[in-house]
Amino acid sequence: MSVATAIYNETCHICEVISQSFKKLARTIIIGRQYSANRVVAQQLIEMGEYRDESIESLTHKLNESVRKEWNI
């Protein structure tokens, strides 16, 4: 194995690690924003009278569960 090949292989490995880290970070941000949106949606649904008997926390939990299933968390 030449020096150039060894450097190329290590560089690809480093790029792969960085890429995976960015993907993980992006996924975390997206899921966090969805959880935040779920809280707003739950509050609006209760104010509209769709789910009068439920608390915001329980409705938010249900919405967050659907996000967890969708993202396989």
Q: What is the pLDDT of residue 1?
A: 57
Element (H, E) at 34: helix 3-48
Q: How many residues does the chain have?
A: 73
Q: Is pTM, for the whole model, over 0.75?
A: no
Q: What is the dihedral of CA 23, 72, 38, 36, to 10 degrees?
A: -30
Q: pLDDT tens, 28-66?
A: 999 999 999 999 999 999 999 888 888 999 999 999 999
